[in-house]
Structure 1
């Protein structure tokens, strides 16, 4: 088995919206069966107990009170970064920094459709994948665009617990 890299994990996420069991619409209980209990980052809003934020390394989840994941955000700004590795069902540390050209080539190689978003700012680029709808945000640093964050959210969740 060839070990995964941060680029391969992010590419799969961009193409499918999933990192193993981590995806919008998944049950936090199912994810915890694979990766263990997440780190509780607390409430999203001060006035309400729910939704709450949880993390597995550098992957942050927003979770409804029914324990359904409504947002997945992968922060790639730290070096090294800690990401869930679905091949070993554990968190793994990756020293990779990913550039725009590396990510674009990996998406193309994976057959993932993507498009640069038109409202680019001089120090920022954004790409959105299709059909997974993952937004990949790059920060331009000294002329090179480096991936800073990848994520998506769902508006389709109807909580039956509220």
Structure 2
């Protein structure tokens, strides 16, 4: 599977393999192994905490559930999870809007574009998964001939965590 298909599938169903909003961190680590550790979100509390695989960044609540995930594809080198093999595959940094929306269409994914000209981007929002794909039209010193994919993200509304099982280590993955 190529990165464009993985990202279009993410748009269609909000998942990249075992990674999705609400996924259990212990179940993810049982399937994929230990993630990279990005540290606490606010720096003063352990939770919420950032973890990830390749260029996929997960925000995990203290109840060890994924509350948001994003894939930053605006870098020289980035990788995304291939849900078929759970291997990391490279993502090209030149995914244009037209090519991407054609891939969403081929996956039967409904989407709408929201132009943000003041900040130089176009957001493509998928339905019903609610994944937001950010395409940049310019940077501070460059105007692109066509909008290019920079980021894909989905998040959940804040929630009340269920009780944490007794004995769950606060510093670990909850496994």
Which residue is equivalent to 2:16? 19
8 Å CA contact 1:51–1:65 kept in 2: the answer is yes
Give TM-score scaled by structure 1 length: 0.90
Q: 2:68 matched to 1:71?
A: yes
Q: Secondary structure at the match of 1:34?
A: helix
Question: Which secondary structure state, in structure 1, belongs to the residue aligned with residue 118 of structure 2?
Answer: coil
TM-score by length of 2: 0.84
Q: How does 1:89-104 map to 2 (within 5 A)?
A: 89-95=86-92, 97-104=94-101
What is the alpha-carbon distance in structure 2 between the residues aligned to residue 115 and residue 153 of structure 1?
Answer: 18
Shift of 1:67: 0.9
CA distance in 2, matches of 1:156, 1:99: 32
Q: Number of matched residues?
A: 159
Asked if 1:61 corresponds to 2:58, the answer is yes
Deviation track 1:82-132 (CA, whole Å, cap 9, x = no partner) reads 111111122222335211001111111111000012544362111100000
Gaps of 5+ in 2: 139-143, 165-175
Unaligned runs of 5+ in 1: none
Alignment of structure 1 residues 8-157 onto 2, 5 Å: 8-95=5-92, 97-121=94-118, 123-141=120-138, 142-155=144-157, 157=159
Structure 1's consecutive aligned runs of 4 or more residues displaced over 6 angstroms after TM superposition are none
Q: Name the structure 1 match of 2:171.
A: none
CA contact (8 A) 2:73 2:91 kept: no
Two-structure CA RMSD over aligned residues (Å): 1.7
Distance in 1 (alpha carbons) for counterparts of 2:93 and 2:123:
19
Q: Name the larger-Rg structure.
A: 2
Contact 2:112 2:126 in 1 (8 A): yes
Measure how far apart 1:60 and its partner are: 0.1
